[in-house]
Amino acid sequence: MLRALCRYIPNSFVNALAMTAPETPIDVALARRQHLQYRDALAECGVAITTIPGDEACPDCVFVEDTAVIVGHVALVTRPGAVSRQTEPVEIARALDAWCRVIRMEAPATLDGGDVMQLGNTIYVGRSARTNAAGIAMLEQTFRSRVVAVELPPHVLHLKCVVSPLDHDTVLLAEGSLPPALFAGFRIISVPREETYAANAVAVGSHVVVAQEFPRTHDALSAAGFTLHPVPTSEVRKADGSLTCQSLVF
Ligand code: GLY
């Protein structure tokens, strides 16, 4: 059975990092209700969820995806690229220890899990403001898989802001974001430019947890045979968050 590790939202989430300050402040109570809807959607997909306490000293701690990369029973616990996030992995490592062999990333490596996408036997990794060459090298050493480094445009925070894996041979890719040739041999479901945010989705078998209010993306996913679980994202979006970043699924 698939598991997901999530983390409760602290009051300090109102101060979470954002590339652009939101027009209205984060409503933390609403963010918590939306986080519950997200966890319920994952549970509907058959995922067993463990949620650990948040940490007031870590405003971004709900974004657990950035703190580890898990392949099989090995968890590479990362050193996130934003200094304010570098203590988040401590509790994540402790929690993952129950299920995985935990390996810790050391300085000077930095890597955010949101930059890492597994697709078949290939691991794609975004070269971003958060993920450096040493982080990518440690990813290669740890998993000994085929690793493809992808240059990200400066306005894209993480690789998975524009592309998500749907199954072993299918990706959901925002139009105009990355060259489709990167995913040659895989089936691509395109997200129209005006719905780019919807390119981040969590797939569990034939089920997909997807952001609400992106009808063209929903139609494309339904036409491809996926069952959709739309969830609200207004508050995490104010902190540059979306769906994959709120869980570690393994
Ligand atoms: N607010 C999420 C991040 O910047 O990492």
Summarize pLDDT for 117-128 with one digit per residue, the tens.
999 899 999 999
Question: 72: Cβ–Cβ under 8 A, 6 or more apart, which residues?
Answer: none
**Which domains can be identified in the chain, with CATH numbers?**
3-249 (3.75.10.10)
Please report the pLDDT score of residue 116 as a whole number: 98
Instruction: Please list, in sequence order, all residues whose beta carbon lies within 8 angstroms of the beta carbon of residue 129, skipping any fewer than 6 positions away.
Output: 81, 154, 157
Residue type, 88: E
Q: How far is the CA of 19 from the centre of ligand 1 (A)?
A: 8
Q: What is the pLDDT of residue 15?
A: 98
Q: What is the pLDDT of residue 194?
A: 98
**Does residue 16 have its Cβ closer than 6 Å to ligand 1?**
yes
Confidence of residue 38 (pLDDT cuts 50, 70, 90): very high
> Average of pLDDT values for 1-10?
98
Average pLDDT over residues 42-48: 98
Q: Does residue 113 have its Cβ closer than 6 Å to ligand 1? A: no
Atom of ligand 1 nearest to the CA of 85: 5
Distance from residue 103's CA to the centre of ligand 1 (Å): 23
Q: How confident is the model at residue 83 (pLDDT cuts 50, 70, 90)?
A: very high
Q: What global pTM score does this model have?
A: 0.97
pLDDT confidence tier of residue 61, bands split at 50, 70 and 90 = very high
Question: How many angstroms does the Cα of residue 63 sit away from the middle of ligand 1?
Answer: 7
State the pLDDT at residue 23: 97
**Mean local confidence (pLDDT), 102-108:** 98
- 155-194 pLDDT, tens digit per residue, is 999 999 999 999 999 999 999 999 999 999 999 999 999 9
Q: Measured between alpha carbons, how far is 197 from 214 in angstroms, rounded to an integer? A: 9
Position 35 confidence tier, pLDDT thresholds 50, 70, 90 = very high
Residues 9-38 have a mean pLDDT of 98
Q: Does residue 25 have a cis peptide bond before it, meaning omega lies within 30 degrees of 0? A: no
- The DSSP code for 226 is P
% of the chain residues with pLDDT over 70: 100
How confident is the model at residue 85, as a pLDDT? 98
In this predicted structure, what is the pLDDT of residue 64? 99
Atom in ligand 1 nearest the alpha carbon of residue 82: 5
Does the CB atom of residue 64 touch ligand 1 within 6 A?
Answer: no
Pick the atom of ligand 1 nearest to 16's CA: 1
Confidence of residue 11 (pLDDT cuts 50, 70, 90): very high
Q: How far is the CA of 60 from the centre of ligand 1 (A)?
A: 6
| Cβ-contact 195, 176 below 8 angstroms | no
Q: Say how many C-beta atoms besides its own lie within 10 A of residue 26's C-beta.
A: 21
Q: How far is CA 184 from CA 15, 141, 166, in A?
A: 40, 25, 15
What does the DSSP assignment read for 143-183?
H-SEEEEEEPPTT--SGGGTEEEEETTEEEEETTTS-GGGG
Q: Is 245 a catalytic residue?
A: yes
pLDDT at 77: 99
User: Is ligand 1 within 6 A of the CB of residue 241?
Assistant: yes
Check residue 30 and give its pLDDT.
99
The Å distance, Cα 239 to ligand 1 centre, comes to: 6
Q: Which of 6, 35, 100, 158 is catalytic?
A: 158
CA-proximal residue: ligand 1, atom 3 (nearest): 17
> Which residue's alpha carbon is nearest to atom 4 within ligand 1?
17
Helices (H) and strands (E) in the chain, counts: 5, 15
**In a mutational test of the pocket of ligand 1, which residue from 26, 85, 200, 233 has the highest number of ligand atoms less than 8 Å from its CB?**
85
Residue-level pLDDT at 162: 98
- Distance from Cα 16 to the centre of ligand 1, integer Å: 7
